[in-house]
Amino acid sequence: MTSSSPSITVPAGHGKAVRLAAGQAVRVVNTHGTQVVDCWAWNAYDLSEYMCMETTRVWNQRLNPLTGDSFVTNQRHPILTVVEDTTPGVHDTFMAACDRKRYELLGVRGYHRNCCDNMFEGMFELGVTPPRANLASFNIFMNIRVQPDGITLHTLPTVTKPGEYITLRAEMDCFVAFSACPQDIVKIQGQGDNTPKPVDIVVIDGFHSDLPGTQTWVPED
């Protein structure tokens, strides 16, 4: 039977994390439609095994996941599968999560909130310490477009509308952390003033989906 926990608000510019059992899902709702959310995941019993963008691109042979695609770990085990996506499907696996140094390079003097610290903030709240910062996050709702030359990337505001969401099913017991990205200099947050906004996450028990998750790609001949 499907049941949902009350939604958890990730405050603007902050981080939250959840622990999922295999088969549970987490829905990330872009409440205001404008917010980019960085996401990380770890095997709940071995934090050295983490959701890995590089191995996931090999697995799916895509720049970005589509509904039905699985994310795999650095040990190439499926960890999360995209089972719903009501957005236009524009997400990013290429851009490094923002960190303190990124804002220093953007000209900020003093501390600026950032996704890497938010990842720790969310996990510390669960009493769990990830072994290291991981710059390679899954950047939900982030709009990075490959240009017609096939090489150059263009950073654009998110195209998501208020209330649109993506749902990720756990393929193993795992921790999943989220950061409502505090970026307010590079124009990645959508529709207007580039102000970071809160988003909501909902843990769903017994999420039913006919999507089995993806098997790894292998060449046809």
Give the interface segment with Zn ion, choosing from 80-88, 91-99, 125-133, 189-197 (CB under 5 A). 91-99
Q: Does 181 bind Zn ion (CB under 5 A)?
A: yes
CB of 221 to Zn ion, least distance (A): 42
Burial class of residue 204 in the structure, from the number of CB atoms within 10 Å of its CB (0-12 exposed, 13-18 middle, 19+ buried): buried
- Least CB distance from residue 105 to Zn ion, whole Å? 13
Least distance (Å) from Zn ion to the CB of residue 53? 15
Q: By 3-state DSSP, what share of the chain in percent is helix, strand and coil, each rounded to 5?
A: 10, 35, 55
Alpha carbon 142 to chain centroid, angstroms: 9
176 is a site residue for Zn ion (CB under 5 A): no
The answer to whether the Cα torsion of 86, 179, 49, 73 is positive or negative is: positive
Residue 98 contacts Zn ion per CB under 5 A: yes
In the complex with Zn ion, which residue's Cβ is closer, 12 or 18?
12
Rounded Cα–Cα distance for residues 62 and 40 (Å): 19
CB 135 within 8 A of CB 54: no
Piece in contact with Zn ion (CB under 5 A), picked from 44-52, 74-82, 87-95, 109-117: 109-117
Looking only at residues 2 through 21 of this chain, which bind Zn ion when binding is defined by CB under 5 A?
none
Contacts to Zn ion from residues 112-171, by CB under 5 A: 115
Are 215 and 78 spatial neighbours (Cβ–Cβ below 8 Å)?
no
Residue closer to Zn ion by CB (options 166, 181) is 181
- In angstroms, give the least distance from the CB of 139 to Zn ion: 8
Q: To the nearest whole angstrom, how small is the minimum distance from the Cβ of residue 49 to Zn ion?
A: 23
CA 35 – CA 196 distance, rounded (Å): 6
Binding segment for Zn ion (CB under 5 A), chosen from 51-59, 96-104, 124-132, 153-161, is 96-104
Tokens describing residue 140: 């939900």
Q: Does 172 bind Zn ion (CB under 5 A)?
A: no
The answer to whether the CB of 36 falls within 8 A of the CB of 206 is no
* Interface with Zn ion: number of residues (CB under 5 A): 4
Applying CB under 5 A, the span of 62-70, 90-98, 148-156, 209-217 interacting with Zn ion comes to: 90-98
Binding site for Zn ion (CB under 5 A): 98, 115, 181, 183
